[in-house]
Structure 1
Amino acid sequence: MINTGIHQTSAGQSGGAETGPPLAVAVVSGDRITYEGAVAALAAFPGLRVLPRGDERKADVLVAFDEAASDQVLKHVERISADQPHARAVLVTDSITEPRLVRAISLGVVSVVLRPTATFSEIADAAVAASIGHADVPPHILGPLIQHMRRMERHGSGAGSGLSARDMTVLRMLSDGLDTAQIASRLSYSERTIKSIVHAIINTLGVKNRTHAVAYMIRAGLL
Structure 2
Amino acid sequence: MEPVRVGISAVDPITHSGLASFLSARDEMVVVDAAELTERDVLVVQVDRMTPQVMTELRSQGRELVPKVLVTGELKDSDVVSAVECRVVAVLPRNRISEDRLASAVLSAASGRGLIPPEMLGKLFDNIRRLQHEVLAPRGLGAAGLTAREVDVLRLMAEGRDTGEIAGELCYSERTVKNVVYELTSRLNLRNRPHAVAYAMQAGVI
TM over 0.5: yes
**Partner-residue secondary structure (3-state), 1:64:** strand
Q: How does 1:35-184 map to 2 (within 5 A)?
A: 35-52=16-33, 54-57=35-38, 60-79=41-60, 80-82=62-64, 85=65, 87-151=66-130
* Larger-Rg structure: 1
Identity of aligned residues (%): 27
Q: Distance in 1 between matches of 2:79 and 2:108?
A: 22
CA 1:95/1:49 → structure 2, altered by over 3 Å: closer, same or farther? same
Task: Give structure 2 stretches of 5+ with no counterpart.
Answer: 137-206
Query: In the superposition, relative to structure 1, how do residues 147 and 58 fare at CA in structure 2: closer, same or farther (>3 Å)?
Result: closer
User: Could you tell me whether the CA contact under 8 Å between 1:28 and 1:73 is conserved in 2?
Assistant: no
Report the Cα distance in structure 1 between the residues aligned to 2:49 and 2:12, rounded to whole angstroms: 12
Q: TM-score, normalised by structure 2?
A: 0.58
Contact 2:6 2:41 in 1 (8 A): yes
Matched to 1:122, the amino acid is R
Q: Detail structure 1 runs of 4+ shifted over 6 Å in the superposition.
A: none
Which amino acid in the other structure matches residue 97 of structure 1? K
Q: Deviations over 1:165-205 (max 9, x none)?
A: xxxxxxxxxxxxxxxxxxxxxxxxxxxxxxxxxxxxxxxxx
Distance 1:66 1:149 in 2: 26
- Structure 1 residues 151 and 110: CA distance shift in structure 2, 3 A: same
Q: 1:58 to 1:143 in 2, by over 3 A?
A: closer
Alpha-carbon separation, structure 2, partners of 1:69 and 1:59: 24
Check conservation: 1:112, 1:136, Cα contact below 8 A: yes
TM superposition score normalised by structure 1 = 0.54
Question: Number of residue pairs matched?
Answer: 136
Which ranges of structure 1 fall in alignment gaps of 5 or more residues? 1-19, 161-223
Alpha carbons 2:67, 2:109 under 8 Å: kept: yes
Q: 1:131: how far off? A: 0.9
SS at match of 1:133: coil
One-letter amino acid of the structure 2 residue matched with residue 101 of structure 1: V
